[in-house]
Structure 1
Amino acid sequence: MTSEEDLVDLRSRMKLIADADPSQYHNEFSLKRYLRAFKDVDKAFQAILKTNKWRQEYGVANLTKDSEEVKKHLLGNKGRVLRHRDMNGRPVIYIPAKNHNASERSIDELTKFIVYCLEEACKKCFEEVIDNLCIIFDLANFSMNCMDYQVIKNLIWLLSRHYPERLGICLIINSPTIFSGCWTVIKAWLDENTSSKVTFVNSEMELCAHLIPDILPIDM
């Protein structure tokens, strides 16, 4: 658990640099997430500084629905932030695997699209109530051509370094038998905390425990 002393310490450090550069600002919820993720004030502080630098250099603020790389993947139905939330009030990022082909993508463009989706979902958080996200991987009509280990690695890196404690739950729905080998590889990359947030949903009844099935797109 985050101690009040750690939070006060981190808050004071951030205030010093935010007074000089307002772009360095992080709110209380963000500070608490970094402290939970990095377990230590010094590590949390350094992680925040690295995230702020990354956001500026990566041009996160410039990634909009009209950005070329974002628009391309929205039109290709590679993913979407849904209008509705899950049962816990989390914003939902929905990713239909069938629309992805690992041999026909630019990893840089796709990673920017992932960042865009994370940003849009985070903006929808009611942080006073819940400040994490639901990510759904729909594996209906999945084939090995859809399997992109590098994209998964990039997503794991983004969530761990620049969006710590933002993942509330990851639902994997319509998973075929062929995916079991892929999951063995992926699970080895996850720490225990993250892997515990991954849930395989095997029926509509199970899905109803997490969200209303009708919120899932039928046009993707």
Structure 2
Amino acid sequence: MATENDEKKVYTAAPIPPAPVEDDPRKNLTEQEAQMYQTVLDHFSNPEFVIPHVDNGQLTEEEKFWLSRECLLRYLRATKWVVDKAIERLNVTLKWRREFGLYDHVTASHVEPEAVTGKEILYGYDVQGRPAFYMIPSRQNTDGAERQIQFAVWMLERSFDVMGPGVESIDLMINFADRAKNPSLGTARAVLHILQEHYPERLGLALIINVPFLVNAFFKLITPFIDPITRAKMKFNPAPVADGIFKPELLMREWWNGDVDFSYEHAKYWPALVAMCDENKRQWMAKWRAMGATVGLSEWKYKGGKTVSGDVGVAPLTEKVQANQEVVEVPQGEALAA
């Protein structure tokens, strides 16, 4: 028989909250930045473009969708607005995404054996609307490094599927309590390399609690491999609510002192997360197609971000795309998840 406490428990990921802003949060680009962006956009929009050093290098629909306006700008910012470096890094990531198997091999069914203990969970959002990605090493249930890495990347990709308009980064919530296993140096370095090389501008904060002596020593070992910008985002033993990072109603109670009594039950959590992410992606891609299905379309637009002061800083659209855009525009905060 279910108790009152059971009825208050939460077993599934939270739906996307309304956009935390009332307008497109992207700042105006300077004239020079706009020219740099246009150069990158023209490069990947060229009908003759192929991904270097891969077979059948023409861009697929999924790859064009990934090459959003915000994506191009993330790589430009990450390379300090050096156009050639931004293009080179984007080429490398496009090649890596294919070789890693993000579009075919690394699927929900493939990584599910890694998920059954709830060692990685997406739940809730910080005050800036960034999804919280919880990692609990003590729940490690497998030995093979390859699929562990694939699972971490799959979950990272799903965090983007639960981001509202205007949000581009995540909060990593790492809890080393309950006799956490010390992750292997090789696996940690592999995940760190992927995050730094292929997901620039995607880490908002890394909040790390209950760090035992051995893990602390481990962090000291990998610190030389962490770039200074990423190191600055790492906070050890924070107080997320008191520090103003999270509101308690969107933060787990256990270990993190939020209000949410979350309990991981795989049969309840996993299918709901997969379905929510699939539906969000389906809706966004439908809107993206209606906008023209081209490289450089805005995540803010196809995710339903409300614009109240015009398209400031947005590259001009063709009349056809503008007409299509009118059809798909939706109010801010439209429910994208069941």
Instruction: Say whether residues 1:49 and 2:49 are aligned partners.
Output: no
Instruction: Say whether residues 1:88 and 2:128 are aligned partners.
Output: yes
| 2:170 corresponds to | 133
Change (3 A) 1:42 1:34: same
Matches within 5 A, 1:47-126: 47-62=89-104, 63-65=106-108, 67-68=109-110, 70-82=111-123, 84-100=124-140, 104-126=142-164
Matches within 5 A, 1:1-220: 3-17=33-47, 21-23=59-61, 24-25=63-64, 26-39=67-80, 40-62=82-104, 63-65=106-108, 67-68=109-110, 70-82=111-123, 84-100=124-140, 104-126=142-164, 128-143=165-180, 145-203=181-239, 206=242, 209-212=245-248, 213-215=258-260, 217-219=262-264
| SS of match in other structure, 1:135 | strand
Would the aligned equivalents of 1:201 and 1:207 in 2 still touch at CA under 8 Å? no
Amino acid at match of 2:130: R
Q: In the TM superposition, what is the alpha-carbon distance from 1:87 to its structure 2 partner?
A: 2.0
Q: RMSD of the TM alignment (CA)?
A: 2.5
Change (3 A) 1:159 1:207: same
Would the aligned equivalents of 1:174 and 1:202 in 2 still touch at CA under 8 Å? no
Higher percent of residues as strand: 1
| SS of match in other structure, 1:141 | coil
In structure 2, runs of 5+ residues without a counterpart are 1-28, 50-57, 249-257, 266-338
How many residue pairs were aligned? 213
Percent identical: 24
Higher percent of residues as helix: 1
Change (3 A) 1:158 1:176: same
In structure 1, runs of 5+ residues without a counterpart are none
Amino acid at match of 1:142: R
TM-score between both structures, scaled by the size of structure 2:
0.57
* Partners of 2:70 and 2:192 in 1: CA distance: 21
TM-score between both structures, scaled by the size of structure 1:
0.85
Which structure has more relative contact order (CA 8 Å, sep 6+)? It is 2
Query: Over alpha carbons, which structure has the higher Rg?
Result: 2
